Chain A
């Protein structure tokens, strides 16, 4: 039950590790100092929970360059370790730098994405119009540029966001630049598909459906969230228009991919139920043998109800633009959202819906 939240406070940059105790409803905060600069993007290693990567602004005189680095947090702060320090809120810990992802030749880093499965040795980063694949060696203390590709075209092309697909043996990466979404093969570093004009305006974020290998969600400045089948990129499978301003973040639930979370600069977080395009479609009987997992079982009575995509809930706790939303990796019914004013809100999926999905 852990959420990482970058917050900018003046010139002192910190990473807060917020521990949420579900049973007692207690929130615990640990502060890590991030002294090299303000953080623009953060991602945790899927293999080693003490390792994370950040993109940060490096301001020198009149130049701002966004760099990326891999860090390790102190052992006692690693999530899951129960020896919580008593004075966690007063003392700030320092991150241990593992390596820099050297981008001097490529420009500002927009985002870093870890290989979703595997041993946490592979990282891609997006720097201006380059997509860089790094190999982390010697327990992540050294980053070697394995391969790279760059986007050529007229004008200044700049990646805004990227995600590593958990499917296809982790060989696909999707990136967003301006209004287009592109897919890349990490083996050959070549483009495999391109959704031109995926959105009317800038694409802000992407996410892969964790259970359906060709499905991809994107969101952007046209206030829309679109769902794509990457095999047919001419038309979105589904479009949501619930937000009234730019949508900054979209996330599939890790287990129940009909639950989609979006955060927008209209200060709202919206939880939608996309039954019709989820891997648990209504009335579609999959042989459940391998899905004996309790969460995946679907009893018969559910097939009586029509499938309906709907907004489950709109969360309006934020007073300012919401820039990030994410699901808890531990509890599939828990999610957090973060807004400009530094407010972090943790919410649960409504109980009724939870039981509806489970039963």
Chain B
């Protein structure tokens, strides 16, 4: 505005403006607003009106608050060329004219309004004068009214007091009437049996009567009342003692008696005695259900009945007691607690007896539901009577049952395992009768494994019920911590796996040394089972357990690796034992064959002895059997056509080295020397060396044992020439067939060489058979 005001010449008329003032006005007003705002430092209007304007402090801004015409002119003159100066001059002149015309328009427009405003003000002045008069009149009228009102109330004052007094008298009279009528009312109430009403009347009147008993009339009333009250009390007691009615009615009786001022101590005793009677009745009925005869109702029904009957009753009693005898203080509470403890104890004993009957087997879910009911029902009295420790005792019972249940499941798992073993034994025994070769060991293994696993899972599922969310006791610390970790994980799962290993190991230690007790196939199967456990099942089962039971307990648990190691050790022992047993079987065969034969007077060998064929057959059978369960294993690389190895290897080719001298009795010393030297270079053979988990290793073990036995037996005998030759033939035969089973065929050769060498040493007339003949005989046989 200042900018506009700075330049206008007074001479410009309103008509000069080419455009109408009406069109111009809003635009301008807005502009003016913007200016005001700008002036008062409100920047937002500016932002709304124009795009971000120039610096408001700029003295060259025409519309700015700090506009300085001199500076502006200076600036213009300095900066602008002439043409632009001219332009801005004309522009400015045009603007000034427009402003002038605007101003004129405004003045014209508002002139009429000023005039009408002046008129209005004048008129108002007149009106107000009239109103003032009226107000004065109103004031005088009001004063008159006040005066009258004060006079009226002064006149009424007296009456009011009298009325109040009369009302008081009336009330008193009514009370008196009530008192006088009291005896008859009481009698009526007693007759009608409205004891509550009677006690209420009596209560109301008692204090008054007490106070005015020195007045004869009141005294009479009091006496009457007392008689009636005594009668009332009598009746109430009578009703209370009869006890036929339920606990709430009894409680009512007691309440009324208390209100009548009967001694609380005595009432409390009596009340409890009655309650005891009722509750004992419940207990008796429960006990009857237990009975000597098998329990007819299932455990759920039992606990239900106990819960609703006994526990409900106890709850009612406790609630009523606490309500009635709250004034008794700690002594009363203690009495109630003792009462609850005693009866609760008996109830628990009954429940435990019933639960004990359930331990034998039965449905876990049913049991858990029963326990849940039991526990849930006891929470109410538990909360009511914290001192009696009912909830704790109940929790303890539940825990005990849970523990026993775990034990039961462990037992069950063990039994299942043993059952599986029995099945396997039968399965192993049965097909042999049918004359069929080897039952499907792999199948049996799979059956056993899956059956045990399913048993484990079933047990887990069964005990899992104890920790289900909806079960009331599952959030007890025992069920969240110890039950999961120590009970289920350690006690049940780890315990079972351990006991399984032990059972399996016991087959190794049993007097099965004689070979008869445990079928070797069972050993093999168990070994494989344990190995499978080591590799997969244990970690699977434990992970399953940990997942299901979210073990939170911090107590140490057996790590998987320890269990695995145990299982592996068991598997190893079983397999070793298997090797021993099978080795023994073959050993005995070989031993009998060496010991019972007369080697001195035997005939020239024509055939391989039948027992050797039998040995090879048995070994093949064992090979098949082991192959069903164990992998092939690593075999020491040998020349490809080992089977073609000729007899010469352990006889002719080494003749100069080992055997030939022994056949010529002339140089005995050399034999020993040379044989010793040779042994220095061959590795010692560990006969009962640890077995690895593969077929080749197992077979190697068995063959080693058998051949070592053969060797020792041969050394105890004396051979004739043909005896020696028979041994040659037998050994060659064994060599032909046994190499394929072992890891290192060199071993078989070494042992067989040793056998023949020993036989030669034990022969007074050692003339070995021609290798070619030996071969022929073996190939024929």
Asked if B234 CB lies within 8 Å of chain A CBs, one says: no
Asked if A321 CB lies within 8 Å of chain B CBs, one says: yes
Closest to B716 in A: A40
Closest beta carbon of chain A to B49's beta carbon, Å: 105
Q: A341 to B672, Cβ gap below 8 A?
A: yes
> What are 11 A-B residue pairs whose CB atoms fall within 8 Å in the complex?
A10-B665, A11-B764, A59-B718, A62-B720, A200-B513, A200-B514, A244-B687, A266-B688, A319-B676, A319-B684, A321-B715
Closest beta carbon of chain B to A225's beta carbon, Å: 15
User: Residues 694-735 of chain B: 1 if any A CB is under 8 Å from the residue's CB, otherwise 0?
Assistant: 000000000000001000100100101000000000000000
Cα distance A17–B669 in the bound complex, in angstroms: 18
Closest beta carbon of chain A to B760's beta carbon, Å: 11
Q: A10-B668, A319-B680, A320-B679 are in contact. Are A340 and B715 (CB under 8 A)?
A: yes
A316 contacts which chain B residues (CB < 8 A)? Answer: 684
Asked if A343 CB lies within 8 Å of chain B CBs, one says: yes
Q: B513 to A244, Cβ gap below 8 A?
A: no
Q: A246 to B679, Cβ gap below 8 A?
A: no
B679 contacts which chain A residues (CB < 8 A)? Answer: 319-320, 341
B669 contacts which chain A residues (CB < 8 A)? Answer: 9
Closest beta carbon of chain B to A177's beta carbon, Å: 14
B684 contacts which chain A residues (CB < 8 A)? Answer: 267, 316, 319
Q: B513 to A222, Cβ gap below 8 A?
A: yes
User: Residues 751-781 of chain B: 1 if any A CB is under 8 Å from the residue's CB, otherwise 0?
Assistant: 0000000100100100000000000000000
Instruction: List which B383-432 residues lie within 8 A (CB) of chain A.
Output: none
Cα distance A267–B676 in the bound complex, in angstroms: 13
B interface: dominant SS: helix
Instruction: List which A155-200 residues lie within 8 A (CB) of chain B.
Output: 197, 200
Number of A-B contacts (CB under 8 A): 62
Closest to A222 in B: B513
A286 contacts which chain B residues (CB < 8 A)? Answer: none
Asked if A255 CB lies within 8 Å of chain B CBs, one says: no
User: Residues 226-266 of chain A: 1 if any B CB is under 8 Å from the residue's CB, otherwise 0?
Assistant: 00000000000000000011100000000000000000011
Closest beta carbon of chain B to A194's beta carbon, Å: 17
Asked if A342 CB lies within 8 Å of chain B CBs, one says: yes
Cα distance A200–B684 in the bound complex, in angstroms: 26
Cα distance A343–B677 in the bound complex, in angstroms: 12
Closest beta carbon of chain B to A305's beta carbon, Å: 29
Instruction: List which A4-38 residues lie within 8 A (CB) of chain B.
Output: 8-12
Cα distance A223–B583 in the bound complex, in angstroms: 13
A10 contacts which chain B residues (CB < 8 A)? Answer: 665, 668
Cα distance A163–B712 in the bound complex, in angstroms: 23
Asked if A63 CB lies within 8 Å of chain B CBs, one says: yes
Cα distance A64–B720 in the bound complex, in angstroms: 11
Cα distance A267–B686 in the bound complex, in angstroms: 9
Asked if B456 CB lies within 8 Å of chain A CBs, one says: no
Asked if A201 CB lies within 8 Å of chain B CBs, one says: yes
Q: A321 to B718, Cβ gap below 8 A?
A: no
User: Residues 664-679 of chain B: 1 if any A CB is under 8 Å from the residue's CB, otherwise 0?
Assistant: 0100110010011001
Closest beta carbon of chain B to A265's beta carbon, Å: 6
A64 contacts which chain B residues (CB < 8 A)? Answer: 600, 718
Q: A246-B712, A319-B676 are in contact. Are A62 and B687 (CB under 8 A)?
A: no
Which of under 10, 10 to 19, 20 to 34, or 35 or more describes the interface residues of A? Answer: 20 to 34
Closest beta carbon of chain B to A244's beta carbon, Å: 4
Q: A62 to B601, Cβ gap below 8 A?
A: yes
A265 contacts which chain B residues (CB < 8 A)? Answer: 708, 712
Asked if A57 CB lies within 8 Å of chain B CBs, one says: yes
Closest beta carbon of chain A to B757's beta carbon, Å: 11
Cα distance A321–B513 in the bound complex, in angstroms: 23
Cα distance A357–B712 in the bound complex, in angstroms: 37
Closest to A342 in B: B672
A-B interface, 10 closest residue pairs, ranked by CB to CB distance from nearest: A200-B513, A62-B601, A244-B688, A10-B668, A319-B679, A10-B665, A9-B668, A62-B600, A245-B687, A64-B718
Closest to A40 in B: B716
Q: A343 to B676, Cβ gap below 8 A?
A: yes
B552 contacts which chain A residues (CB < 8 A)? Answer: none
Cα distance A341–B687 in the bound complex, in angstroms: 18
Closest beta carbon of chain B to A159's beta carbon, Å: 15
Q: B668 to A59, Cβ gap below 8 A?
A: no
Instruction: List which A281-295 residues lie within 8 A (CB) of chain B.
Output: none
Q: B675 to A63, Cβ gap below 8 A?
A: no
Contact of B718 among A57, A223, A319, A320 (CB under 8 A): A57
B686 contacts which chain A residues (CB < 8 A)? Answer: 244, 266
Asked if B535 CB lies within 8 Å of chain A CBs, one says: no
A201 contacts which chain B residues (CB < 8 A)? Answer: 513, 584
Closest beta carbon of chain A to B779's beta carbon, Å: 30
Closest beta carbon of chain A to B719's beta carbon, Å: 10
Q: A267-B684, A341-B672 are in contact. Are A63 and B514 (CB under 8 A)?
A: no
Q: Known pairs A197-B514, A246-B712, A341-B679; list 20 more (Cβ under 8 Å).
A: A9-B668, A9-B672, A11-B665, A57-B718, A59-B718, A61-B600, A62-B720, A63-B600, A64-B600, A200-B511, A201-B513, A222-B513, A223-B688, A244-B686, A244-B688, A265-B708, A265-B712, A266-B687, A267-B684, A319-B684
Closest beta carbon of chain A to B568's beta carbon, Å: 20
Closest beta carbon of chain B to A13's beta carbon, Å: 11
Q: A244-B688, A341-B672, A343-B676 are in contact. Are A59 and B513 (CB under 8 A)?
A: no
B680 contacts which chain A residues (CB < 8 A)? Answer: 319
Contact of B688 among A62, A245, A340 (CB under 8 A): A245
Closest beta carbon of chain A to B472's beta carbon, Å: 53
B511 contacts which chain A residues (CB < 8 A)? Answer: 197, 200
Q: A341 to B675, Cβ gap below 8 A?
A: yes
User: Residues 203-226 of chain A: 1 if any B CB is under 8 Å from the residue's CB, otherwise 0?
Assistant: 000000000000000000011000
Asked if B653 CB lies within 8 Å of chain A CBs, one says: no
User: Residues 48-77 of chain B: 1 if any A CB is under 8 Å from the residue's CB, otherwise 0?
Assistant: 000000000000000000000000000000
Asked if B548 CB lies within 8 Å of chain A CBs, one says: no
Closest to B708 in A: A245
Cα distance A11–B758 in the bound complex, in angstroms: 15
A341 contacts which chain B residues (CB < 8 A)? Answer: 672, 675-676, 679
Cα distance A197–B513 in the bound complex, in angstroms: 10
Asked if B656 CB lies within 8 Å of chain A CBs, one says: no
Q: A244 to B676, Cβ gap below 8 A?
A: no
B675 contacts which chain A residues (CB < 8 A)? Answer: 341
A197 contacts which chain B residues (CB < 8 A)? Answer: 511, 514
Q: B600 to A59, Cβ gap below 8 A?
A: yes
Q: A321 to B584, Cβ gap below 8 A?
A: no
Closest beta carbon of chain A to B271's beta carbon, Å: 69
Closest to B717 in A: A64
User: Residues 200-236 of chain B: 1 if any A CB is under 8 Å from the residue's CB, otherwise 0?
Assistant: 0000000000000000000000000000000000000
Cα distance A235–B686 in the bound complex, in angstroms: 29
Asked if B357 CB lies within 8 Å of chain A CBs, one says: no
A200 contacts which chain B residues (CB < 8 A)? Answer: 511, 513-514
A59 contacts which chain B residues (CB < 8 A)? Answer: 600, 718, 764
Asked if B689 CB lies within 8 Å of chain A CBs, one says: yes
Q: B715 to A62, Cβ gap below 8 A?
A: no
A245 contacts which chain B residues (CB < 8 A)? Answer: 687-688, 708
Asked if B281 CB lies within 8 Å of chain A CBs, one says: no
B514 contacts which chain A residues (CB < 8 A)? Answer: 197, 200
Cα distance A223–B718 in the bound complex, in angstroms: 25
Cα distance A320–B671 in the bound complex, in angstroms: 14
Q: B672 to A244, Cβ gap below 8 A?
A: no
A222 contacts which chain B residues (CB < 8 A)? Answer: 513
Asked if B301 CB lies within 8 Å of chain A CBs, one says: no
Instruction: List which A33-87 residues lie within 8 A (CB) of chain B.
Output: 57, 59, 61-64
User: Residues 334-353 of chain A: 1 if any B CB is under 8 Å from the residue's CB, otherwise 0?
Assistant: 00000011110000000000
Closest beta carbon of chain B to A219's beta carbon, Å: 14
Q: A62 to B598, Cβ gap below 8 A?
A: yes
A63 contacts which chain B residues (CB < 8 A)? Answer: 600-601
Cα distance A201–B581 in the bound complex, in angstroms: 12
Closest beta carbon of chain A to B286's beta carbon, Å: 52
Cα distance A341–B761 in the bound complex, in angstroms: 11
User: Residues 151-177 of chain B: 1 if any A CB is under 8 Å from the residue's CB, otherwise 0?
Assistant: 000000000000000000000000000
